């Protein structure tokens, strides 16, 4: 009996519904190895059951045939050992060679990092499962139950998103693309132990069709694109002729040691408005100050109206200098 949306008929006694003439072309399996000497993304998968029905019960892990990925190599995702995948076979006479797989099968978003086959969690979305699925790790499920701390952590149903294994994603919304890292943080306020990260989340937000004041006429508005780059620390770096120069790590790109050097040695970016205020004070002080020559003391030009210019610069210079450079944005 299949699932009709009620708890009582969700289970089917653990029996597969995908048999035709006592043969399954699609089988579920447990990943036992991801080692591939040719680096093609092949894995070894154990399909449970007797050999006469295509199972691997009496086959050693090292003797299992390879399963080749069905997703193109433009997308890189390899299941972890212990996760569930779907295995496709060509026919009854070739059940252990030239297998294909797609997966991993992840039951809920809070198990993106790892969904253990032995826990039977990956099987729960299907009608042959012995238990119904876990409750959705979303802000709002079908029963209209709301967990406010989870709003914004995972994509909405109408958004296209690539979810990382842990705490990252790339999401396409309406007229908007968001690349994020650290989207959630630990929490003790709900059963999923996470909540939206307001404090340290890093993201690049690219928005289209945004209304903002016109540069040529601030009383009018215009539409265009806006990009927001947000993080605790931001580095804008170049490969060539930068100071300090950067050295890339072929696995981490910028490793911890290199990052620490950048955060301490790279140049701080000045705030334009504060720099401009400083330069205006400096300009007024210079333009209102003259030397009388012949060793006479310098005098301010009273006729310029800026007789206090030197005093104004002296009074504000130290404060402006202390606030002029960004503590969190650096360039090389």
Position 332 pLDDT exceeds 80: yes
Position 137 pLDDT exceeds 70: yes
Non-local (6+) Cβ contacts of 2 within 8 A are 9, 12, 17, 127
Q: Please give the Cα distance from 157 to 59 (Å, whole number).
A: 42
Task: Summarize the confidence of residues 212-220 as an average pLDDT.
Answer: 91
Task: Summarize the confidence of residues 232-243 as an average pLDDT.
Answer: 94
Ramachandran category for residue 105: left, alpha or beta (phi over 0 → left; psi -120 to 50 → alpha):
beta
Task: List pLDDT tens digits, range 250-285.
Answer: 999 999 999 999 999 999 999 999 999 999 999 888
> Which domains are assigned to the chain?
7-119 (2.40.50.140), 136-232 (no CATH), 233-332 (no CATH)
Task: List pLDDT tens digits, range 157-198.
Answer: 899 999 999 999 999 999 999 999 999 999 999 889 999 999
State the average pLDDT for the chain. Answer: 86
Q: Please give the Cα distance from 184 to 305 (Å, whole number).
A: 57
Produce one character per residue of 53-92: b if its CB has 16 or more CB atoms within 10 Å, e if not. ebbbeeeeeeebbbbebeeeeeeeeebeeebbbbbbbeee
Looking at residue 278, its pLDDT comes to 95
Task: Flag the least confident range among 70-79, 106-115, 129-138, 161-170.
Answer: 129-138
Could you tell me the pTM of the whole model? 0.83
């Amino acid at each position: 009996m299949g699932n009709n949306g009620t708890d009582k008929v969700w289970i089917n006694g653990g029996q597969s519904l995908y048999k035709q003439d006592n043969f399954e072309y699609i089988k579920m399996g447990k990943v036992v190895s991801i080692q591939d000497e040719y680096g093609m993304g092949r894995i070894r998968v154990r399909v449970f059951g007797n050999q006469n029905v295509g199972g691997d019960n009496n086959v050693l892990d090292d003797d299992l045939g390879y399963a080749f990925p069905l997703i193109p190599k433009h997308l890189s995702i390899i299941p972890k050992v212990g996760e569930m995948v779907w295995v496709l076979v060509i026919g009854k006479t070739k059940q252990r060679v030239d297998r294909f797989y797609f997966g991993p099968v992840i039951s809920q978003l809070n198990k993106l990092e790892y969904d253990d086959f032995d826990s039977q969690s990956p099987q729960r979305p299907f009608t042959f499962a012995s238990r119904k699925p876990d409750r959705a790790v979303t802000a709002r499920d079908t029963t209209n139950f709301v967990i406010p701390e989870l709003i914004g952590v995972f994509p909405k149903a109408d958004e296209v998103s690539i979810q990382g294994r842990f705490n990252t994603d790339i999401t396409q919304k309406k007229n908007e693309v968001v690349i994020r890292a650290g989207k959630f943080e630990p929490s003790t306020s709900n059963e999923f132990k996470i909540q939206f990260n307001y404090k340290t989340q890093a993201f690049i937000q690219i928005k289209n069709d945004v209304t903002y004041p016109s540069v040529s006429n601030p009383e009018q508005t215009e539409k265009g694109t806006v990009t927001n780059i947000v993080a605790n620390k931001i580095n804008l770096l170049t490969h060539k002729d930068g100071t300090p120069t950067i050295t890339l790590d072929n696995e981490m790109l910028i490793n911890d040691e290199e990052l620490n050097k950048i955060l301490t040695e790279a140049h701080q970016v000045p705030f334009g408005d504060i720099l401009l205020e400083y330069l205006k004070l400096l300009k007024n002080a210079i333009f209102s100050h003259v030397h009388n020559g012949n060793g006479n003391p310098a005098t301010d030009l009273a006729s310029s109206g800026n007789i206090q210019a030197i005093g104004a610069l002296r009074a504000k210079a130290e404060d402006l200098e202390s606030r002029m450079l960004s503590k969190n944005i650096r360039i090389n």
